[in-house]
Structure 1
Amino acid sequence: MSNDLSIRDLSVAYGPVMALHGVSFDVPEGRIAALVGSNGAGKSTVLKAICGMVAPASGTISVGGTAIPARPGAALRQGVALSPEGRRLFGRLSVEENLRMGAYAVPRAELDPGVMERVYGYFPRLRERRRQMAGSLSGGEQQMCAIGRALMAQPRVLLLDEPSLGIAPIIVAELGRIIAEISRDLGMTVLLVEQNAQMALSLAATGVVLETGRVVLTGTGEELLQSPEVRAAYLGY
């Protein structure tokens, strides 16, 4: 079963305002794709459409060639998990309780007994703090917990929404390394949505630049890092 993510001619409207205009791109199986752009470009709307939080005006979203219905929960049932912007942890629950919440939709018979240990392997700090309330963690540790919670769903496709937001640069670098390891080790298809274009494109096999709801540039991560347009607009040089 293929785990590629395909988005074709996706348009989304909020009332009379079009947020996405015919967006199309692919995330190849087992690879990282970076979706970059400024605030208001439509990056989060793409994720909301994938997850069924907004209904497309037109277009299709599919995983492994199977279309995802435009309703909440459908993407998760097809193996797509989201680590949301702002982490959205249950602050009064422990780290381990938050992680277990990520597996709530996995049938007991299908739950890999080693998935928790795998998450702790990628994020040793979570193991050290597994009894600690999630709300008392640092920002970087909370982001690790949010990604770990998404991995507990045993997804085929992992969506990461602004994982670097509000995180110290040294932790951003650590998170980038771990995201690359997860994709490589697990054959995980990853869509990384970021304002931090340098971080995202340096990890990505494929890069997509959105502006005002339209795809304006695509290429390999390295090609976009070298693009004069990307450098001027997003990298500051």
Structure 2
Amino acid sequence: MSTTRSKLALVTGASRGIGCAIAKRLSDDGFIVIIHYSGNKTSAEETVRSIKARGGHAITIQADVANEYDVARLFSEAKYLIGKIDVVVHSAGIMPLAKIAPAGLADFDKVINTNLRGAFIVLANAAENVTDGGRIIALTTSVIAKSFPTYGPYIASKAGVEGLIPVLANELRGRNITVNAVAPGPTGTALFYQGKSAEQVNTIAKLSPLERIGTPEEIANVVSMLVSEEGGWINSQVIRVNGGFA
């Protein structure tokens, strides 16, 4: 890739939604961006086109985050571009809803496999490949603080991810790598709006004192700060970006 940019960021789940907004913002900040996707190649390529139209540099790499061999290849291909990885943002995840009941076990296994096992694999590879002085960020969720019916598997998966953050921060002691989580509240993505009536969206918006739904760009702004020099003293934290939702 012909570019004068010298920093590389790998963003998982970057084909759409919050991950896409993060990828675009990091490109604006001067990073070459790896657009990871699992199955939506069309959206991933559209993200790349959008970044290139803004004067940035990005490429797509497909991988299943729950497959350790896929993730190892993802990091190997990403690192090959300029010989290093400066930032990893793990945004990929799924959110099937299921009650805590025998019938919900299949969905529980699915979300734990992708969201928690996948996060462990991505964080493990980030720990081995991110350059000293780099940044590692995982996306979790502010809904952890709520007790909404059918959110049990999802909350369990993301609570597990939050538990990994301080442990990894300590394991990387001496390398000047920060490890943090960003926990969005309700955010206006296609996934969020899918299947919800205007009344339901309005009810959720009212849960925040600011009485609105957040935007993907507002989540991306916080990630941008964390990967910048100004974020260098923030480590082992879960930052809830939710307008007071929880």
The TM-score by the shorter chain falls in which range? Answer: 0.3 to 0.5
TM-score (norm 2): 0.34
TM-score by length of 1: 0.35
**Is the strand fraction higher in 1 or 2?**
1
Greater helix fraction, Structure 1 or Structure 2 = 2
Q: Between the two structures, name the one with larger relative contact order (CA 8 Å, sep ≥ 6).
A: 1
